[in-house]
Structure 1
Amino acid sequence: MLLYRSVTEHGEEQQKNAKGVVSPAVARLMLVVNAAVWGSGYTILKHIQQTVPTQWMMTMRMAAATVIMGLIFWPRLRRTNLRMYVIPGFILAVTYWLGYVFQLWGLSLTAPGRNAFLTDTYCVMVPFLIWAFTKRHPTWQQLVATAVCVVGIGFVSLSGGGGADLMHMSFGDAITIVGALFYALNLVIVGLLGRSYDASALMFMEFAFASVLFLDGAGLTEGYPSASWLRWDIIAGLAYLVIGSTVIAQLFQTIAVQHLPTAQASIILSTESIFGVLVSVCFFGEVLTVGSVTGFVLIFCAILLSEVQLPSPRTLMSRRSGDL
């Protein structure tokens, strides 16, 4: 789900000429639905995970998403030299695969709400990975966002789930953060490749290779598929993840971001983690403590701070001097 946001942003310029009659209000509603679908997906993943092993679950999800994307984008894919996309698609697939492996491993050990908020810390990691790749230094507010995020993670870890203190956070929390790091790496690589490759073809190849990686991982570590997985709740959950979290969410986002400022769209999409907590509390029975709520609020503030461009202190000082 995190890559969809990135690919859409880098494919925006190719879609600027598309005609649309979506009002800003409708666009905002579409993004709220998008965030709700993504957020609720954590609890559904947790439910399916209790019956279907992680990599088999992702194999079915990614294979179905690849087929659907192939059908939707077939006219464009047919005109594209997909051989040029093999290496970049495979590199992205590896980071995407590792991101999901660690995130879902963490999800199996912690509550969906905690997993949702800790996964979204990838937003704060991105500027530092960009620094590593391009030598472009993080801004003052990105540094502040990182500090706020670290404090928020500390509160979440202190709130329970096996963590005695910040240096001994629960294993599930730590694994989730590792998954967020791979998501951030995936996002940065997409950003570096975005200007040279068609977004839909790049995402199609990534999903295709990810399906193979999940299949290989499942075959090596999780045994054979079981007929016991053919339950209505499992099938319905997978259908929700494929159709809702993949197709509908991607479609809504692709349309909505063309009618709203990027900063505003990012803020709305970042509420995904809030929906993740709400659904987890209502349907999974996650218990919120003062410490966990404080940590969630701090992490959400860090996400907003990393997404919204604020004027620098020097600019504010110059404006104040001008007013005087």
Structure 2
Amino acid sequence: MLHKSTTHKPFFSREEAALIGITLMWGATFLIVHLAVGHSGPLFFVGLRFVVAGLLTIVVFRRALRGITKKELVAGSAVGVTIFLGYGLQTYGLQSISSSTSAFLTALYVPMVPLIQWLVVRRPPRALTWAGIALAFVGLVFLAGPDAWQLGLGRGEIATLLSAAAIAAEILLIGRFASEVVSSRITVVQLLVGGLLSFATMPIAGEGVPAFSWVWLVAGIGLGIASALIQLTMNWAQKSVSPTRATIIYASEPVWAGVIGRIGGDRLAPLAILGAAFIIAGVIVSELKPRRRSNGELLVE
């Protein structure tokens, strides 16, 4: 028999609420990115965004950087590589596949995180977490739309699958090192590594430095500030929030992107609205914490 507990506890912890906040911010950046890449190449803009973020965090945390450790340099560099691969491979894939297919393949990071974590640490997520993962993934599939199922096995699809794996690796690596490093110091390293790798690969991708535009400059600075806050919050919050639970929260990013887009004049298809509902349901279900009373009755908090 199920009863609701009468105790009043916050539904989300402070750290989980912070992750929801940066996910909202993350979703809001897509409109700005869409505008900015019309005036510059994608790798240049990604590089600008993360180097600005890295330089900003150097200024803010310059005193803390004096005590940086080898572990923080290695961990930050590893996360920075996954940031670069996640953005870079997804951008490369979009040159030959549709945005809906890209969205669907990228969404595979949601089930990847718990599966990889299960294989590595041999600790399966609890049943309600699996339910939340399933709901979030179905929601992302609905948001991608019916065109997303027109899959092949070309270089665009392969690159996007690898980008999804990179995103999963980023979340897992942050969770692995979060409790062992100083958040401010590892944030500086991962931002600079991600940005500098983007700049370094521009010649390989045949991308040149764009003509000056206030659009990419202002957008790069603005998103650099946002990226610094997002990565710092991820490194701090995942000290206590598991990678699997964080993944379900991050899955709500396209919901917020859709809301911001709707405010900007875009129309949401009924299937997209249904997908958003599934994702929100997934976040809520994953937060339910069943426990038993002394008389054996099961409560859901």
TM-score w.r.t. length of structure 2? 0.73
Deviations 1:257-276 (A, max 9, x none): 7xxx979x979887643331
Q: For the Cα contact (< 8 Å) 1:120–1:273, is it kept in 2? A: no
Q: Which structure carries more helix by proportion? A: 1
Which of these residues, 183, 187, 192, is aligned with residue 208 of structure 1? 192
Deviations 1:144-178 (A, max 9, x none): 22332343344334x34x33x4867xx98997675
Matched, 1:277 2:258: yes
CA, structure 1 residues 262+85, in 2 after alignment: closer, same or farther (shift >3 Å)?
closer
Which of these residues, 62, 76, 84, is aligned with residue 89 of structure 1? 76
Question: Aligned letter for 1:291?
Answer: L
- Offset of 1:122 from its aligned partner? 4.4
Matched, 1:296 2:276: yes
Question: What are the residue-to-residue correspondences of 1:124-203 with 2, within 5 Å?
Answer: 125-157=112-144, 159-160=145-146, 162-163=147-148, 165=149, 179-203=163-187
Gaps of 5+ in 2: 1-11
Question: Aligned letter for 1:71?
Answer: V
- For 2:224 and 2:175, the matched residues in 1 are separated by 24
CA RMSD of aligned residues (A): 4.2
What is aligned with 2:56?
A: 68
- Offset of 1:77 from its aligned partner? 0.5
Question: Aligned letter for 1:319?
Answer: E
Matched, 1:238 2:220: yes
Identity over the aligned pairs, expressed in percent? Answer: 20
Q: For the Cα contact (< 8 Å) 1:127–1:142, is it kept in 2? A: no
Q: For the Cα contact (< 8 Å) 2:37–2:216, is it kept in 1? A: no
Q: For the Cα contact (< 8 Å) 2:136–2:251, is it kept in 1? A: no
Matched residues, number: 278
Q: For the Cα contact (< 8 Å) 2:58–2:188, is it kept in 1? A: yes
CA, structure 1 residues 316+99, in 2 after alignment: closer, same or farther (shift >3 Å)?
farther
TM-score w.r.t. length of structure 1? 0.68
- For 1:316 and 1:126, the matched residues in 2 are separated by 35
Deviations 1:265-306 (A, max 9, x none): 9798876433311222343x5432222221222133223434
Matched, 1:110 2:99: yes
Farther-moved stretch of structure 1 (203-212 vs 61-70) = 203-212
- For 1:224 and 1:48, the matched residues in 2 are separated by 15
Matched, 1:224 2:208: yes
Matched, 1:44 2:44: no
**Secondary structure at 1:195 match in 2:** helix
- Offset of 1:311 from its aligned partner? 1.0
